[in-house]
């Protein structure tokens, strides 16, 4: 049988080791990530609507939530993405540029999009981009989710890593793409970009 004192000593040694491990693994420098946040309360901020030009009709406009009778995610204003998919084609998005620092950088993008209903058929791709090129065509934007994932506001997000780069300007875009022949409107609000060196 182990002597109680030996057991206590072993226990104290374990606690001491654990504490020293915690101490050495703690970050020395606090994270210096930067977040760009836009809720569209007073305008588009740095964001600009854009399209691949293939939709029959489209618009991205600011909309007061009172007109829709459904509260926005944040504040009083949101964007309204209108896309007429009757050509069975067309991609629309908002885009902006940000400066990222040199070195290894992670860019996290999130935004909220509201679907009227939940469903798995006839959904439209939710698309996003973060990279060095000005997005111009449907294939420039990756599919990062689908509309109708759930009824109500849904948070969509994606992440891009830039390894060992020089300081540079990148483009960020968030949008939707039509794959079903109907006109639709999706509210979008609170777009956030976080740059983490």
Binding site for Ca ion (CB under 5 A): 39-40, 50, 72, 74-75, 77, 134-135, 189
**Closest CB to Ca ion among residues 46, 106:** 46
**Closest CB to Ca ion among residues 92, 126:** 92
Tell me the Cα Rg of the chain.
Answer: 23
For residues 100 and 167, the answer to whether their CB atoms sit within 8 Å is: yes
**Closest CB to Ca ion among residues 40, 153:** 40
**Closest CB to Ca ion among residues 36, 101:** 36
**Torsion angle of the four alpha carbons 194, 47, 82, 54, in this order, in degrees rounded to the nearest 10:** -100
Q: Which residues pair with residue 175 across a beta bridge? A: 93, 127
Q: How far is CA 152 from CA 15, 58, 119, 142, in A?
A: 48, 22, 12, 23
Q: How far is the CB of 135 from Ca ion (least distance, A)?
A: 5
Q: How far is the CB of 99 from Ca ion (least distance, A)?
A: 17
**Closest CB to Ca ion among residues 126, 172:** 172
Q: How far is the CB of 170 from Ca ion (least distance, A)?
A: 13
Which helix (H) or strand (E) segment is 175 a member of? strand 168-177
**Closest CB to Ca ion among residues 86, 89:** 89
For residues 81 and 187, the answer to whether their CB atoms sit within 8 Å is: yes
- Write out the DSSP string of 82-110: EEE-TTS--EEEEEEEEEE-SEEEEEEEE
Q: First vs last Cα of the chain: how many Å apart? A: 54
Q: How far is the CB of 37 from Ca ion (least distance, A)?
A: 10
Q: How far is the CB of 91 from Ca ion (least distance, A)?
A: 11
């Amino acid at each position: 049988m182990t002597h109680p004192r030996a057991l206590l000593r072993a226990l104290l040694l374990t606690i001491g080791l654990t504490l020293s491990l915690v101490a050495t693994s703690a970050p020395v420098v606090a994270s210096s990530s930067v977040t760009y946040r836009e809720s569209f309360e007073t305008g588009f901020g740095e964001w600009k609507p854009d399209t691949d030009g293939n939709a029959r009709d489209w618009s991205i406009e600011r909309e007061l939530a009172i007109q829709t009778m459904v509260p926005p995610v944040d504040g009083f204003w949101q964007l309204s993405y209108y896309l007429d998919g009757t050509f069975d084609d067309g991609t629309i998005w908002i885009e902006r540029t940000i400066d990222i620092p040199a070195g290894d950088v992670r860019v996290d993008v999130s935004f909220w999009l509201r679907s009227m209903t939940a469903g798995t058929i006839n959904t439209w791709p939710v698309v996003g981009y973060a990279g060095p090129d000005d997005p111009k065509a449907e294939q420039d934007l990756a599919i990062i989710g689908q509309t109708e994932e759930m009824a109500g506001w849904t948070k969509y997000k994606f992440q891009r890593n830039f390894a060992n780069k020089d300081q540079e300007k990148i483009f960020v875009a968030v949008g939707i793409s039509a794959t079903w022949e109907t006109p639709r409107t999706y509210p979008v609000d609170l777009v956030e970009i976080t740059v983490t060196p």
